[in-house]
Amino acid sequence: MRRSGGLRAVLIAFGILTGAWLVVPTLIVIPISFSGEDSFAFPPRSWSLQHYVTFFTESSWLTSLLVSLQLALIVTAVATVLGTMAAFALAGRKFRGKGAVDGLLMAPLIVPGIVVAVAMYAAFLGWGLIGTPAGFIAAHTVLALPFVTVNVTAALAGFERVLERASASLGAAPWTTFRSVTFPLIRPGVLAGALFAFVTSFDEVVVSLFIQSPTLQTLPVRMFTSVTNEVDPTIAAASTVVLVVSTALLGLATLTRRNRRAA
C-alpha cells in the first residue's frame, strides 16, 4: 500500500508539472502586454497601457484587427448557413456517393495547412484573388465548413426525425417545419458550429500568410510578421486581445455542446 501511495504522489507531482507546462506559457503574454517597457522583459519592471494604446491607434495594427473581425463575421455567416444546410441534407440519408460527400466536407481538416495554403496560393494567383476580401472569405469558409457540419450533424444525430414527419403530416411546408420544429432543437449545435467558424477565421495563419497582400493583412498575419521582423512589444497586446477573444468563444462553444449533451 505504501508503494502505491508513493506512486500516486509521483504521478500527482508529474501532473502538476505537465499542467504548468500546458497553461503557464500561454498566460505569460498577459503581464507582458501591460509592461511599461519597450522590450519583452519578464517580469516587467514597470506597468502601463502604452502597448494597448499603440495597438488601438496605430493604423497597421488597428486595420488588421478590423479586417480580421470583418472577415470572421462574414465567414461565420457563410459557413454556418452552407454547413447547416449540408448537414441537414446529409443526416440520416443514404445515397450513392454519400461517403465521398462526407469525406469532402471533412477533408479541409485532415489536409495539412501548408498543403492547403500552397494549393490555394497557386490557384488564387491565376484567378486574381490574392490579397482580396473574396479570396480570404473563400479560403476561410473552406476551412470553417467542417466545424459547422460536424457540430450540426452531431446535433441532428440526437434529433428525432419523426418530429419532422409529424410536422409535415400536419400540413407544414418544409420551410415551416425547419423554422419552427427542427431549428429550435438543433440550435445549440448550430451556435457551437458558428463559434468554431468565427475562431477558425479569426485565428487562421498559414493560408492567410500565403494569400495576403501588403494592403490586406489579417491580425495573425500582422503578428507573424511582427515576430519575424521587428521587436515591437505591441504584439503582446495583440496576443492578449486575440487570446481573450478566441479563448472566450471556444470556451462558449464547448459549453454549448456540453449543455446540449446533458439535455
Question: Among residue numbers 87 through 126, which ones bind other proteins (CB under 8 A)?
Answer: 88-90, 93, 95, 101, 104-105, 107-124, 126
Helix (H), strand (E), coil (C) string for 120-149: HHHHHHHHCCCCCHHHHHHHHHHHHHHHHH
Applying CB under 8 A, the span of 45-53, 58-66, 79-87, 187-195 interacting with other proteins comes to 79-87
Considering the complex, state which of residue 48 and residue 254 has its C-beta at the smaller distance from other proteins: 254
Closest distance of CB 198 from other proteins, Å: 13
Per CB under 8 A, the list member of 6, 9, 26, 261 interacting with other proteins is 26
Cell 444525430, residue located: 157
For residue 216, the cross-strand partners are 213
Question: Among residue numbers 125 through 144, which ones bind other proteins (CB under 8 A)?
Answer: 126, 138-139, 141-143
Helices 98-110 and 133-157, packing angle to 10 deg? 120
User: What backbone torsions phi and psi does residue 160 show, to the nearest 5 degrees?
Assistant: -80, 110
Are the C-beta atoms of 256 and 237 separated by less than 8 Å?
no
User: Does 49 contact other proteins by CB under 8 A?
Assistant: no
User: Does 246 contact other proteins by CB under 8 A?
Assistant: yes
Per CB under 8 A, the list member of 203, 217, 234, 256 interacting with other proteins is 203
Continuous H helices in the chain: 2-27, 29-33, 50-57, 59-90, 98-110, 113-127, 133-157, 162-169, 174-177, 183-203, 206-211, 219-229, 234-262
Q: Under 8 Å CB-to-CB from 256, ≥6 apart: which residues?
A: 188, 191, 192, 195
Closest distance of CB 70 from other proteins, Å: 18
User: Does 206 contact other proteins by CB under 8 A?
Assistant: yes
Closest distance of CB 205 from other proteins, Å: 5
Per CB under 8 A, the list member of 200, 212, 217, 256 interacting with other proteins is 200
Site string for other proteins, 214-233 (x = CB under 8 A): ------x--xx--xx-----
C-alpha–C-alpha distance, residues 246 and 59, integer Å: 22
Considering the complex, state which of residue 30 and residue 62 has its C-beta at the smaller distance from other proteins: 30
